[in-house]
Structure 1
């Protein structure tokens, strides 16, 4: 089974900026808008990073990693949307925005690699299974048993 290696890059941003909030209360917050709305998104992100870290750093099966990275990218898009709409109001530091944007781009690249590798593994396994069923492997196929040819050598 083909496996690939991943490095996890998101944990530092999640840990470093777990709480972002306004410097003072305002009437707008009383109307329902809260700068603390980003916190559940960052907590979810932290949980996703923990799930990825639980897969290990070597011989990670991309079929396990791909769906988690998809969730992590979706979470990143949600956080980025919040930041774009509320950066000034919530006084979110530009350094956070820059770091998160860079992290999101890297995570998106890793997601693409993991999902492409997972698709390739599935394609190759399906192809091998199909060839075995059709008898195109010259023997019993994936079982590893191949008869010795009979006759003069």
Structure 2
């Protein structure tokens, strides 16, 4: 027993079809759900390359040594590490709930990111001071030459008849 309702366009719609359409919609959504879950799982797995990149940068920093580290390469590596950390913090902020990232891990990443920022600022400040001192020393050496070789200890002997 179908009850029919006429829509303003004149097309008749059977109320019994509504439950069938709901089932079709549910099946369609069910077919799409694995695709969405798969895409969102891929989002969670996309943190892997970030962590691998971070590990490589840390290994490069460790290879610089622990004492008397030249701040110039350290500054460069710490800039990369800070950029990686910002990307990681942003990822965690956007996906922590969906990817079920533990709060303590997220907190540790944020604290590490802040520490790296401080270390980068210090290393880059010292690197800039070293670069400035070297530039000033070069300029001073060039300006003190008075037309000769300066204090290099090298005095060319004129060739030919005197």
CA distance in structure 2 between the aligned counterparts of 1:73 and 1:49, rounded to whole angstroms:
11
1:111 aligns with 2:111: no
* Equivalent runs, 1:1-153 vs 2, <5 Å: 28-31=36-39, 33-135=42-144, 140=150
SS in 2 for 1:56: coil
Once the two structures are superposed, what CA deviation does each residue of 1:84-143 show, in whole Å capped at 9, x if it has no partner? 00000001000011111111100110001111111100000000100111118xx946x5
Q: How many residues align structurally? A: 117
Question: Which consecutive residues of structure 1, in runs of 5 or more, have no partner in the other structure?
Answer: 1-24, 146-153
SS in 1 for 2:67: coil
CA distance in structure 1 between the aligned counterparts of 2:103 and 2:39, rounded to whole angstroms:
26
Bigger relative contact order, structure 1 or 2 (CA pairs below 8 A, ≥6 apart) = 1
CA distance in structure 2 between the aligned counterparts of 1:26 and 1:87, rounded to whole angstroms:
21
Report the structure, 1 or 2, having the larger helix content. Answer: 2
Question: Which consecutive residues of structure 2, in runs of 5 or more, have no partner in the other structure?
Answer: 1-32, 154-162
In the TM superposition, residue 27 of structure 1 has moved relative to its aligned partner by 5.1
CA RMSD, aligned part only?
A: 2.2
Structure 1 stretches of 4+ moved >6 Å:
none
Normalised TM-score (structure 2): 0.67
In the TM superposition, residue 64 of structure 1 has moved relative to its aligned partner by 1.3
SS in 2 for 1:60: coil
